[in-house]
Structure 1
C-alpha cells in the first residue's frame, strides 16, 4: 500500500465515521422545537397553541403504536391472533 492509498483510506474512514456519528446523534435527538415545527407547517400562533400541538403529537404517537400492534397481528400466522385481539380490548 503506497502513501496515496493510505491517505485515501484515512479520509474515507474519517468521513464514514463522521457520517455514522451524525446518524447516531440524529437518532438520539428527540427534542421538538414547536416554533420551528409550526412555522414549517405554516401555522400561526393564533391557529394552534404549543399545548394543542403537544397533545396532537402525543395522539399521533399513540396511533403509531396501535398501527404497529395491528401490523403485528395482521402478519401473525394465527397462533397468537386470538390472544392479541383479546389483549387489545
Structure 2
C-alpha cells in the first residue's frame, strides 16, 4: 500500500487540476457569451452583411458582363458629371 499512495496522490492532483481548468474554461466561455453582441448589435450586423452581399452581387454582375456593358455601367456609376 505504501508504493501505491504516491501514485494515487499524483493521479488525484492531475484529476483536480483538470476539473478546475474545465470549470474555469466553461465560466470564461459563458462570460464571453454574456458579454457578446446584444440583439441591437446583431440586427446591425445582419443589415451590414445584407448590404455587403448586395454589393458583391453587383460586382459579380459587372465582372461577368461583356466589356461594353461593363464600361457603360462604370461610366454610369460616375454620375452625371462624367
Q: TM-score, normalising length from structure 1? A: 0.46
Larger radius of gyration: 2
Q: By percentage of residues, which structure has more helix?
A: 2
Q: TM-score, normalising length from structure 2? A: 0.49
